[in-house]
Amino acid sequence: MPYVTVGKENSGNVDLYYEDHGSGKPVVLIHGYPLSGASWEKQVPGLLKAGYRVITYDRRGFGKSSQPTEGYNYDTFAEDLHTLISHLKLQDFTLIGFSMGGGEIARYFGRYGSKGANKAVIIGGVPPFLLKTDDNPEGVDASVFESIQSAIIADRYAFFDDFFKNLYNADLYLGKRVSEAVVRANSNIAAGASATASLACVPSWHEDFREDLARVDVPTLVIHGDDDRIVPIVAAGQRTAKLIAGARLVIVKGGPHCITWTHAEEVNAQLLSFLGERAQANKNIA
């Protein structure tokens, strides 16, 4: 199993687990909370079949990666991503991030620019700025995040049960677009995550990415479900698309937060079409 070292904590390395499959133009998939790179299983086969090199990795604190007690902020998450990209010597790559992964994409461009990157896709992402403030009235009240933190401290396993219900809008889609077995598998992955990370990531959800998004200068696709109960589209996807020059917004009708599973066919079609535009354009230029 491949790992890349992104730092140290006391006597131990902080290592990220990643998988690197296929050949062709690289696509880096960045997962959401509280899952791992394995959550992209509905997207990976189609991307490989279409001829892309597909790279997934587990964010620090989650999946098979190290579980340090520090570094759960987007400057560090973006640095971890940059270290992975540099380690693999990627060029002409596309970044695709779901939920928290949208924050990595925004901060990556904000800190490191677009050198080597050619496209970006943000699916149900946390940018641009989820916290309601005087200059951000469209955001979510701080009490919402405080109650989440309190619930995690009290019983994170019980919190995850409720979280996954809203991740999939289980009252509408359980037994139809998502099975109980999938939710159970998610719970198992979440239970194995670092207790520290599970709590410490919550404040990162309302980091301000507005200046970062202004630096995204590659073609960008924003996909968001219009029934997202975790990251409301009016506070996130719609605004992100406006803040990135030339970005395209695709709204998934009736889509919950985890549209990468419940509406995988629709999401995959949009991904492959968007990625294919680049390939076709290059072909025409050639």
Strands (E), the chain: 3-9, 12-21, 26-30, 53-57, 93-98, 117-123, 220-225, 248-252
Number of H helices, E strands in the chain: 11, 8
Tell me how far apart the alpha carbons of residues 244 and 267 are, in angstroms, rounded to a whole number: 20
Instruction: Choose, from 206, 224, 257, 263, the residue flagged as catalytic.
Output: 257
Inter-axis angle of helices 195-204 and 142-168, to 10 degrees? 110
Look up 228 and say whether it is catalytic: yes
Look up 263 and say whether it is catalytic: no
Which is nearest to 262 in space by CA: 187, 158, 171?
A: 171
Terminal CA-to-CA distance of the chain, rounded, Å?
A: 38
- DSSP summary character for residue 144: H
Q: Which residues of 205-238 are buried (b: 16+ CB within 10 A; e: fewer)?
A: bbbbbbebbebbebbbbbbbbbbbebbbbebbbb
Look up 31 and say whether it is catalytic: no
Q: Which residues pair with 17 in a beta bridge?
A: 3
Instruction: Choose, from 15, 58, 212, 228, the residue flagged as catalytic.
Output: 228
Instruction: Choose, from 36, 66, 99, 204, the residue flagged as catalytic.
Output: 99
Which helix (H) or strand (E) is 102 found in, with range?
A: helix 100-112
Residues contacting residue 35 through CB under 8 Å, at least 6 positions apart: 62, 63, 186, 189, 190
Overall size of the chain counted in residues: 286
Tell me how far apart the alpha carbons of residues 274 and 121 are, in angstroms, rounded to a whole number: 9
Residues marked active site are found at 99, 228, 257
